[in-house]
Amino acid sequence: MKISAQVRLAPGNSVAERIACLAETGFEAVEVHSDAVDHVSEYRRALAAAGIPALSMCPAGRSLDLVADEYSQRRRIDQVRRAIDACNELGITALISVPVRGALPPDIVAADEADSYVRALEQLAPHAEAAGVTITVEPLNRYEMHLVNTLADGIAIAARVGSPRVKILADVFHMNIEEDNTPASIRAAADWIGHVHLADNQRAHPGTGATDFSAVFNALRDIGYAGSAALECRMRGDPAEALRQCATYLRAARG
């Protein structure tokens, strides 16, 4: 299991400087955002220079959210296919998928949204399988999304798709809000977790709040999770020093 961080969290005036900073501060991999689709060569050079892999890709905005009207959904499916191709070029194995955000709109039925999301993922699954990229459905807390809030919600979606390349993401911050017991929920989702996001209970970097990350890593170890766990949070204080302290803290918590 590799300790990772989003490139955007690091200080620097270029992609190369930010990735180099993450490598220098002790991270073992990076998570890019989907704007990297248009800069694959730049990211490939930066990763090679820093000697660190990119293992996951996160949406840069809402353009990859797949629950939308028919016309928009077709366009978004095409954009996700482009993201899968970029992941394949960069050696990235996990592409994060958020279906929709915010509260349930008036006159919309959540079950219809779930059906729409499953249909979109069914169209994308063969492309992901051919590229060797796992689409990971990310549950968000109830204040940020109405459709998929818990790991069980995510599993219900992924199970309907029935592809080995459609799994779920376990985000420790959102789990602190929605799950009764984060380590127990991780163990219960053992066969489905394809990626992990790390943030403390107040969404600052791990080690600044109340989350027991040793218990989180123990649960991930128990289920044989071998992917990356990526930092997605706010950094407190000087970014480079906070990243260094956080990487040290996470490696100790991982054991």
Closest to 19 (Cα-Cα) out of 29, 144, 126: 29
What ranges in the chain are assigned the alpha helix state H? 15-24, 40-50, 70-90, 110-131, 151-161, 172-178, 182-188, 213-222, 239-254
- Taking only the tens place, the pLDDT of each residue in 93-137 is 999 999 999 999 999 999 999 999 999 999 999 999 999 999 999
Whole-number percent of the chain with pLDDT over 90: 98
For residue 140, give the 3-state DSSP assignment. Answer: coil
Q: Which residues pair with 229 in a beta bridge?
A: 3, 196
Q: Would strands 228-231 and 94-97 be described as parallel, antiparallel, or unpaired?
A: unpaired
Cβ 167 vs Cβ 158: under 8 Å: yes
Whether the full predicted model's pTM is greater than 0.85, yes or no, is yes
Integer Cα distance of 193 and 141 in angstroms: 17
Sign of CA dihedral 11, 138, 228, 34: negative
pLDDT of residue 71: 80
Cβ 204 vs Cβ 246: under 8 Å: no
- Taking only the tens place, the pLDDT of each residue in 172-220 is 999 999 999 999 999 999 999 999 999 999 999 999 999 999 999 999 9
Per 3-state DSSP, what percentage of the chain is helix, strand, and coil (rounded to 5)?
50, 15, 35
Cβ 120 vs Cβ 158: under 8 Å: no
- pLDDT category at 70 given cuts 50, 70, 90 is confident
Whole-number percent of the chain with pLDDT over 70: 100
